Amino acid sequence: MTTRKDFLRGQRIDPKPITGRETVPELVDNAFLAYNAGRLAEGCRLFSERMLEDDVTVGMSLTGAMTPAGLGMSTLIPLVEAGFIDWIVSTGANLYHDAHFGLGLSMHRGTPFADDVELREEGVVRIYDIFFDYEVLLSTDAYIREVSAGPEFQRSMSTAEYHYLLGGYILRREQALGISRKSLLGVAHECGVPIYTSSPGDSSIGMNVAEQALTGSQLRLDVSADVNETSAIVFRAKTQGGKSGVLIIGGGSPKNFVLQTEPQIQEVLGISEKGHDYYLQITDARPDTGGLSGATPAEAVSWGKVDPDKLPDTVVCYLDNTVGFPLLATYALAKRKPRRLRRLYHQRAEMMRELTEAYQEAKADRDARAEAATAERRP
């Protein structure tokens, strides 16, 4: 039974005055004591102290227009290079806009109060308070079509394979332009971090791939391969003495895709498992509207997505990602040394073999039990 003493064990609220000389970790630990600041502080400590242990494989989902706002360069790339993110599920839009920077194209700070009719007439595209030339879209479209027409793309492949190949081309374009570390796709290629897109047709990359299909291209993005490969990553993490953690930036389809790996393993493939070990989300979505973006870790337990025994190791911060995510990254990079890169992209075949063998064993066991049950019912 919980006593009064138990309830009052939390840190006493007695912060030191802010001086302006604090580091981000000092500010978070000293002044972020309650409400969503308190949740962000909890999230920072969960991520840096537990999720970044050497035995935890960290998957991240990404939604919202984060790369146009520069978070690819400022936040994502440093985390990938430090080995703090092992695999990614992103909207295609984030990857498409990420490519602009790797191609030497520019986006600019603007205002959300501009006249959009006037912007259209002037050939300027707006993402809230970000402006860029319409030619940026046309140039990126042309580059994606040109690269995707190459012989190595003329087959069925997972979105991780497609993004790895595209990232290699962007990396070489950066080198030719004399720039570096501008594109998440390029850095992920270099670090062997697989990037998946849960809805590959729902972006300008998918639109350009679809256009090429009309001209005879054999490129096909295999969504079944994505489902199985991401499940294989989590299966490997959990069956080799390690743990699985998920960092969810936003919500939407990528959030579900990174979490559905556990129901795929348990419910569909019939392999005994208990769910992800760590769950950290930054979102502005409310849980009471019934949408997946705001669904809580507790609700995810009912689906088998999160290990019920690890529910205390879950945090949701209700914040704007452009505020919360850089603070989280700064805290982690200040507190933890870089981890060894897992380079999971290059281990996909072996991980798929492990998952397939486990599935076949589980299926054979189910079939044998079903046959035995049928035999018992025979007269």
The closest alpha carbon to 99, from 53, 146, 54, belongs to: 146
pLDDT at site 301: 81
**Are the C-beta atoms of residues 64 and 249 closer than 8 Å to each other?**
yes
pLDDT below 70 — which residues of the chain? 378-379
pLDDT at site 266: 93
Residue 266 is assigned to a structural domain of this protein: yes
pLDDT tens-place string over residues 16-40 = 999 999 999 999 999 999 999 999 9
The closest alpha carbon to 194, from 148, 172, 162, belongs to: 162
Residue 373 is assigned to a structural domain of this protein: no
- The CATH number of the domain where 233 resides is what? 3.40.910.10
Active-site annotation holds for 305: yes
Residue 9 is assigned to a structural domain of this protein: no
Residue 84 is assigned to a structural domain of this protein: yes
pLDDT at site 359: 96
Residue 14 is assigned to a structural domain of this protein: no
How far are the Cα atoms of 54, 265, 366 from residue 270, in angstroms, in the given order? 28, 6, 8
Q: Which amino acid is at 41?
A: A
pLDDT tens-place string over residues 248-272 = 999 999 999 999 999 999 999 999 8
pLDDT at site 378: 66
Rounded Cα distance between 131 and 85, Å, is: 29
What is the pTM for the complete model shown? Answer: 0.94
Tally the domains of the chain.
1
The closest alpha carbon to 239, from 272, 285, 205, belongs to: 272
Residue 10 is assigned to a structural domain of this protein: no
The closest alpha carbon to 183, from 61, 292, 87, 94, belongs to: 94
Residue 3 is assigned to a structural domain of this protein: no
Residue 36 is assigned to a structural domain of this protein: yes
How far are the Cα atoms of 123, 139, 199 from residue 109, in angstroms, in the given order? 16, 20, 28
Catalytic annotation, pick one of 238, 305, 335, 337: 305
Residues of the domain holding 90: 21-365
The closest alpha carbon to 230, from 180, 177, 158, 333, belongs to: 158
